[in-house]
A = this chain, B = another copy of it.
Amino acid sequence: MGQNLIYLIPVCGIMALVFTYWKSAWVAKQEIGTPKMKIIAEAIADGAMAFLRAEYKVLAIFVFGVAVLLGFSGASQDSSHPLVALSFIVGAVCSALAGFIGMKVATKANVRTTNAARDSLGKALEIAFAGGSVMGLGVVGLGVLGLGTLFLIYNNMGWDIVKVINVLTGFSFGASSIALFARVGGGIYTKAADVGADLVGKVEAGIPEDHPLNPATIADNVGDNVGDVAGMGADLFESYVGSIVGAMVLGAAFIGVIGFENTNEYGGLNAVLLPLVLSGVGIFTSIFGTFFVKVKEGGDPQKALNVGEFLSAGIMLVATYLIVKGMLPDTWSANDIATSELKEFTDTGVFIAVIIGLFSGLAIGYVTEFYTGTGTGPVKKVAAQSITGAATNIIAGLGVGMMSTAIPTLILSAAIIGAYEFAGLYGIAIAAVGMLSNTGIQLAVDAYGPISDNAGGIAEMAELPKEVRQRTDKLDAVGNTTAAIGKGFAIGSAALTALALFAAYMQTAELSVIDVSKPIVMAGLLIGGMLPFLFSALSMNAVGRAAMDMIKEVRRQFKDIPELKAALAIMRKNDGKDKKDWSSEDIDTFEAASGKAEYSKCVEISTKASIREMVLPGLLAVASPIAIGFLGGKEMLGGLLAGVTVTGVLMAIFQSNAGGAWDNAKKMFEEGVEIDGVKHYKGSDAHKAAVVGDTVGDPFKDTSGPSLNILLKLMSVVALVIASMLA
């Protein structure tokens, strides 16, 4: 069976890319709409591509530099290192490509969704979701194709399997480092533009953020694409690849294990192939699911998304059972690190580990929803605390974020112990693979959100009738629960994958024990624990600086561009008056200003600032494990990884959920929220206090929080790549 599987895996990846191409072409064929919509959409698409070009230029230098170091570092001791460099480059390129494909289709789908929303909700959903599924299947397709092909090539070199997989880890390194830069860079971009459009445009000048007179409006919409689409795509690509590679490394330890020797001609290779096969099959269940996401006018888009996602998850679960049963022997014996004795494991145990992974991911998702969903107890409390001002709102949000770490941590701990009990370290790794095997459709749902959001922005900027915006808002409003569950899987899989990579690092570095009572390990643990704090501080400061650049530019435009200046003066003169009551002269002057704002300058500034600011946090993540590993030794590096995993997971949950709670507390005021018997609306003092909380939460939930999930895996994979040198 194994021999055929090896060739079939890349084929699954190709299938996904074919689907991606087909869907993408379908999206491109849809109508764009009015000329104004076309102009706006092109400006957004151009801005997004300009960012990607600038980002990839910098990343190319980084990738080249690291590849040279990787190739060179091993030249003297092991001929395989140039190939680690190759894996690294392929991983980086696949990750970049995934981001590119996603952004390309998103910037096409957004305006077409707007246009479709002029007629029907169903068609709009179809286009937005098609855009999302291009992204989703592009990511998994590139992951499976890249890993599968490289594995095929290296496996034919005649090396032993451990070496094959060691060389393959470079792919994960490439994927993770690009993901970190993309997340941080995209996060900074989107927040800088957001603050510029909000703070100067809306608050200082009194112009809505999506209004054509607001110079930062295009940059703001570009930001949604580079942050929420490209950033998230690279992020999930790295999670997906990381979980597969982690399980493959641990699977290699099964070679020669009693019970495994006869499963195929390679002897135990099946444990290595299992994660790839699960991911390959997941591609088909994801594609299958996408065909069920359909809604009629008046129907519920949430239900449509649920049907697609749960259907494909259900089929995947059955498939997983059959595959695990088919590929693994009924029983085998392996060393139990907890007791150092031989222990018997079963294929059913591995399947149970997958179930544990799925349920813990789901449970963490529901906890996330409980702490951050509109109208839930904690979010209501944050809204209620806005009555006494911004300070109490902030304290309440911080409290919710911190409190929300408790249950997910307990769930994760139980999952780790449970998966290990049933299937050893391999069980922990496979649980993460199980969580992510449906990434194709999960990401389709995730990416559908920002596409609908963008569609609404375009409707506003192009001044389309109100019902268009209402339809896109309806699309945008759903998918919160699915997104929360997606977050649960992201956090859960990040922790489990980091542990799998940690175990893989220990195997490769020939470490049997990392004793935390040794001072050097404790020092590593402390420093590792500190890194997520430092990383968060760096990225928050970066957002602050980038936003300042943007604020200055927007202010400059309002001061230097005569038409904008005149339009602002007229707005101030007619303060509060409805536009139809203005004098015709005023209206003429005002209309003349439309389009005079230099949007591209703002786009350029956001791009420059975010590229400049992403470098330091990114380098910190790559350099620290290398520095600690070579200066402090492999045990200290082990401590560092444990520390970064623990506080990374905690800080990620804390920041994401605090940000989510603030965001939805603010949103509750938009529909009116009853506190102590009085109803408070948008524009009230309490609402203003809630806006402060939301602004604080933005860099938490969109920049530093999600980056931490990548950070902890990136550090583990860097350690894994240098492990053989430290051994």
Contacts and interface: CB of A to CB of B under 8 A. Distances in A.
B516 A649 contact: no
A414 B636 CA distance: 12
Contacts of A399: 537, 540-541, 544
Contacts of A403: 533-534, 537-538, 541
A139 interface: no
A439 B533 CA distance: 31
User: Chain B CB within 10 Å — which of A389, A495, A515 has the most?
Assistant: A515
Interface stretch (A30-38, A692-700, A717-725): A692-700
A313 B534 CA distance: 33
A395 B394 CA distance: 11
Interface string A507-523: 00001011111111111
A692 B530 contact: no
Interface string A533-568: 110111011011001000100000000000000000
Number of copies: 2
Contacts of A696: 391, 394-395, 398
Contacts of A70: none
A190 interface: no
A677 to B, nearest CB: 14
Contacts of A182: none
Interface stretch (A21-29, A96-104, A123-131, A639-647): A639-647
Given A526-B646, A537-B402, A647-B646, A416 B544 contact: no
A440 B526 CA distance: 30
Interface stretch (A152-160, A220-228, A460-468, A498-506): A498-506
A382 to B, nearest CB: 11
A419 to B, nearest CB: 8
A663 B514 CA distance: 41
A526 to B, nearest CB: 5
A547 B399 CA distance: 15
A338 B633 CA distance: 12
Interface string A184-207: 000000000000000100000000
A469 B514 CA distance: 58
Interface in A411-447: 412-414, 416-417, 420, 425, 428
A122 interface: no
A638 interface: yes
Interface residues of A, number: 78
A194 to B, nearest CB: 12
A551 B416 contact: no
A412 B526 CA distance: 8
B390 A692 contact: yes
Contacts of A495: 526
Contact of A526 (B401, B527, B639, B649): B649
B389 A692 contact: yes
Contacts of A333: none
Interface string A582-613: 00000000000000000000000000000000
Contact of A638 (B388, B416, B516, B534): B516
Nearest to A542: B399
A54 interface: no
A82 interface: no
A395 B642 contact: no
Contacts of A569: none
Given A534-B406, A642-B525, A646-B526, A516 B519 contact: no
Interface of A: 199, 337-338, 385, 388-392, 394-396, 398-403, 405-406, 409-410, 412-414, 416-417, 420, 425, 428, 495, 499, 502-503, 506, 511, 513-527, 529-530, 533-534, 536-538, 540-541, 543-544, 547, 551, 638-639, 642-643, 646-647, 649-650, 654, 691-692, 695-696, 699
18 contacts: A337-B517, A395-B544, A398-B540, A402-B536, A405-B530, A409-B526, A410-B530, A413-B526, A416-B523, A499-B519, A516-B521, A517-B638, A522-B642, A526-B646, A529-B529, A529-B650, A643-B646, A646-B647
Given A413-B526, A513-B513, 19 more contacts: A199-B389, A391-B691, A392-B544, A395-B695, A395-B699, A396-B541, A402-B536, A403-B538, A410-B527, A413-B523, A413-B527, A416-B523, A516-B516, A516-B639, A517-B638, A525-B642, A533-B650, A533-B654, A646-B647
